[in-house]
Amino acid sequence: MKLYADTANINDIKRLNELGIIDGVTTNPSLVAKEGRDYNEVIKEICKIVNGPVSAEVLSITTKEMVLDGIAYSKLHKNVVVKIPMTAEGLKATKELNGKGIKVNTTLIFTPLQALLAAKAGAAYVSPFIGRLDDISQDGMQIIQDIVEIFQNYEITTEIIVASVRNPLHIRDAAIIGADICTCPPNVLEQIIKHPLTDIGLKKFLEDWEKSRK
């Protein structure tokens, strides 16, 4: 399973990229707003750091404006993927951008059928938000299972990005189900590196080695 960093923070992206574990980056307007920077500048900087798809979300709601925003983003770097919200206007924009050879990541997906529609419109990626479903007591991971099954049934090549990830168990379950990609906040990616038994084991190995040399 590919791992993406779900952040617009440059320092976090640099740190994770150095670990050699991230395959791409997703951003959204809330994440970029937190950085207090221009959206385009942030995307250009991320593309210089990470050699993989970088999702930039449109800041408009009509098909016409979304297509224009998408074209502008696609000119920033060859790895830019345009994030389009899952609405009727968004589906039309997806079809149009796909026709121009611009990759779309359909965002704010909360049901398997929304994912099917996005794929039919030509999305290269779909982003179901599992954490936000869990937050309202619905089983977020179940929709990942359902989308994986539906896409397999019809040999749909749209990649599934598990989004709105809150904890390491989300990543584990996404991998077991067979999602293509999991996009994770930096702190969650860093949580999965560590295990207390690894630290205890390493300390013991080094102590035993030192003892043997005395």
* Residue in 128, 191, 204 with CA at minimum distance from that of residue 163: 128
Give the nearest distance from C-beta 126 to ligand E4P in angstroms.
10
User: Which tokens sit at 44?
Assistant: 């250009």
Out of 9, 63, 127, 158, the residue judged to bind ligand E4P by CB under 6 A? 127
Give the nearer residue to ligand E4P in terms of CB position, either 3 or 163: 163
Question: How many Cα neighbours within 13 Å face the side chain of 149?
Answer: 8
Cβ pair 167, 144 in contact under 8 A: no
Is 178 a residue that touches ligand E4P (CB under 6 A)? no
Q: Is 34 a catalytic residue?
A: no
* DSSP character string of 66-98: HHHHHHHHHTT-TTEEEEEESSHHHHHHHHHHH
Give the nearest distance from C-beta 183 to ligand E4P in angstroms.
5
- Tell me which amino acid residue 154 is: Y
Is 28 a residue that touches ligand E4P (CB under 6 A)? yes
Q: Name residue, tokens 């779909």.
A: 126
Dihedral angle over CA of 45, 51, 10, 132, nearest 10:
120
Give the nearer residue to ligand E4P in terms of CB position, either 9 or 164: 164
Out of 42, 94, 164, 171, the residue judged to bind ligand E4P by CB under 6 A? 164
Q: Name residue, tokens 């991320």.
A: 46
Is 95 a residue that touches ligand E4P (CB under 6 A)? no
Give the nearest distance from C-beta 196 to ligand E4P in angstroms.
27
Of 48, 64, 78, 83, catalytic? 83
Give the nearest distance from C-beta 211 to ligand E4P in angstroms.
47
Give the nearer residue to ligand E4P in terms of CB position, either 136 or 203: 136
Q: Which positions from 181 through 210 interact with ligand E4P, judged by CB under 6 A?
A: 183
Distance (Å, rounded) from C-alpha 149 to C-alpha 165? 20
Coil, strand or helix: which one is 55? strand
Q: Which residues bind ligand E4P (CB under 6 A)?
A: 6, 26, 28, 107, 127, 129, 131-132, 163-164, 183
Query: Which active-site residues does the annotation give?
Result: 83
